[in-house]
Amino acid sequence: MSNVVLQAKNREKAGSAESRRIRHAGGIPAVIYGKSGKAVSIKLDAADFLKSTKGISESTIVKVDVEGKSYDAFVKGAQRNIIDGNILHIDFYEVDSNTIVRAKVSIALHGNPIGVREGGMLENPLREIEVECLPKDLPGRIDLDISDLKANHSLHVRDIPLAGGIKLISNPDQVVALVKFAKAEAVAAVPEAGAAAPEAGAPAAPGAVPAAGADKKAAPAPSAGEKK
């Protein structure tokens, strides 16, 4: 579980007018949906939220401190302004420390594979896996070293090392990363510039087709008295 702590305050009022006032003052209106079903309306400092949550994923559990009361929660939704990208509203979902959660965890690849150094191309078809575990065991992301990955080899979900207490939900046969070579294309031989043309009358190569416009050798005229 991460060490991200967000400071928040209760919202005294609800409604769009109050939300606009909070945003105008540099804040973000938000809601924590509690594990008991109760929703708590709060407000956060926008600059503090952006700084504290930089680089976290949907599977990261953050601690939200609301005037002395603490909540462990996922950041499940951030509504943004389509024009300037500023955050308009945030939804948090509280988690119970004693209840197993299911979440998708992102995969970060590290290292320069052997196969790539030999001329291959790296592909990364799967960027997250789904797991089940207690909140305290849930990783914010999975760092995977692929330095030893050779050409025409691949890493699967089953190859990802997971800590004890974490149950894999994703298909273990899914490919996470692979290095493969592009198929070599046959290159036709092209005569070098200035190369001498074949001598007149020289026999053509087997199967060669006469060039367009080439003169055909005239057939010998029949001898006198020979029937045509």
CA 81/CA 147 separation, integer angstroms? 40
Indicate the pLDDT class of residue 1, thresholds 50, 70 and 90: low
The amino acid present at 1, given as its one-letter code, is M
Average pLDDT (182-201) is 49
Q: Quick one: pLDDT band at residue 159, thresholds 50, 70, 90?
A: very high
Complete DSSP assignment for 82-144: TTT--EEEEEEEE--TTS-EEEEEEEEEES--HHHHTT-EEE----EEEEEE-GGG--SEEEE
Its pTM surpasses 0.85: no
Give the integer Cα–Cα distance in Å for 145 and 148. 8
Please determine, for residue 189, whether its predicted confidence score (pLDDT) is greater than 60.
no
Mean pLDDT, rounded, of the chain? 83
Question: 187 pLDDT exceeds 90?
Answer: no
Least confident of 37-46, 55-64, 83-92, 150-159: 55-64
What is the per-residue pLDDT for 218? Answer: 44
Contact yes or no for 15/58 (Cβ under 8 A): no
Do 188 and 211 contact (CB within 8 A), yes or no? no
Chain CA centroid to CA 178, Å: 13
